[in-house]
Amino acid sequence: MSILERRLIRETSFGLTSKLWRISWTLVLLLCALAGVGYAALYSAGGGSPEPYASRHILRFGFGLVLMLSIALVDIRFIARLSWPAYAGAVTLLVLVLRMGHTGKGAQRWIELAGMQWQPSELMKIALVMALASWFHKASWERMGNPLFLIPPALAVALPVALILKEPNLGTAVITATVGAAVFLAAGVRWWKVGLATAGTGLVMPLAYNHLHDYQRARITTFLNPESDPLGAGYNIIQSKIALGSGGMWGKGYLQGTQAHLNFLPEKQTDFIFTMLAEEFGFVGGLALLGLLALIVLSAMSIALRCRHQYGRLLALGIAMNFFLYVFVNVAMVMGAIPVGGVPLPLVSHGGSAMIMVMASFGLLMSVHVHRDVEFSDGRDEV
């Protein structure tokens, strides 16, 4: 056995106990704290009762926590080999959801598997990051400068974005495209190339707009002037702003939010849960929640920067960006800064598939952290 082989075995062979010690337990505690906030919020949304939202939320989080820790123990090189099969499976599910998926609120986004409603677009975002990380892993600067080398990953982004737009799900499509662009930039693709692709996407947006449902078009047209239709398309955002403002500095108190509990605030358990929390805990409470979310994003970024292999760095950065965009889009949406897009607040809003996918993605992030010092082989067979 050569010296190099002995070194690789010494550096990459971890027992179960060693892997458990290498898990970022600080990040685990932050995620538990966020889920605890979600439980309290959904308890309030249920009228001061764990049913029907809070009890399901904590059970799903418990399952997600076990899933996350299980994925964290899987060797990152084995995960890397699954990148493109996972991408192919996610694309297949997106095609299936268009053919036989469940339709709700004017969109066909869900498919039933194992007795649960799943949203394949959530899986797609994770699989896309895995595939792009695999493609750019160990890519030389010469290959990065070759436009032909960038065509396959660009198509890998464009295909799921087009399928998600077809559902239609504009918010998730934009997040998917943005996550893909972030991985491109992190891999070393020049800014002007990503900008050129973004400009090309902008040219086809009018075509995408024509395929949106009437309610989605109304969301966009009433974005700048919601008062033009206060009882129709502008109702949600008007009530959200009223609830945000009425919370003041310190809020009305837990379980005392009038806009939420008198049912003026729509979808308080999902899309507008941040608004409900801000009404009950005020500006200070909303700022504290944003601080907790920021700590989670910074912890994910720290894991990415401490990783010694490119696959792990890109995977962690993509997962961090996906989580950040979840938060940014949801909070900006309820404040009226962007059109309402139906994006939940991760680990706080009620919803099964979104939570499981978020926890699975953090499992991948933990695996990156646990195996941050491993070495991939020089061949492409590892990825």
Q: Per residue of the chain (383 residues), give pLDDT as tens.
A: 455 445 544 544 457 788 888 899 999 999 999 999 999 999 999 888 998 899 999 999 999 999 999 999 999 999 999 999 999 999 999 998 888 765 555 555 667 766 667 788 889 999 999 999 999 987 877 787 788 888 899 999 999 998 988 877 777 888 899 999 999 999 888 776 677 666 656 555 666 666 666 656 666 666 656 666 666 667 778 888 888 888 889 999 998 888 887 788 887 888 889 999 999 999 999 999 999 999 999 999 999 999 999 999 999 999 999 999 999 999 998 888 777 777 889 999 988 788 999 999 999 999 999 999 888 764 444 43
The crossing angle, in degrees rounded to 10, of helices 235-246 and 310-334 is 90
Model pLDDT, residue 210: 63
Query: Which residue is it, tokens 């805990």?
Result: 281
Instruction: Using the CB atoms, write b or e for 122-139: b if 16+ within 10 Å.
Output: bbbbbbbbbbbbbbbbbb
Q: Which amino acid is at 133?
A: A
Model pLDDT, residue 380: 43
Instruction: Using the CB atoms, write b or e for 3-37: b if 16+ within 10 Å.
Output: eeeeeeeeeeebeeeebeebbbeebbebbeebbeb
CA 129 – CA 184 distance, rounded (Å): 10
Other Cβ atoms closer than 10 A to 118:
22
Supply the pTM of this predicted model: 0.87
Model pLDDT, residue 201: 61
What SS3 state is found at 107? strand
In the structure encoding, which two tokens stand for residue 114, read together? 């194992």
For residues 129 and 179, is the Cβ–Cβ distance under 8 A?
yes
Alpha helices, H only, 13-169: 16-22, 25-45, 54-72, 76-81, 83-100, 120-136, 141-144, 147-166
Alpha helices, H only, 307-351: 310-334
Model pLDDT, residue 165: 82
Q: Which of 88, 166, 167 is nearest to 127 (CA)?
A: 88
Provide the edge-to-edge strand list for the sheet that holds 116-118: 102-104, 107-113, 116-118
Half-sphere CA count of 123, side-chain side, radius 13 A: 21
Model pLDDT, residue 121: 87
Model pLDDT, residue 377: 66
CA 27 – CA 182 distance, rounded (Å): 22
CA 309 – CA 177 distance, rounded (Å): 24
CA 143 – CA 149 distance, rounded (Å): 6
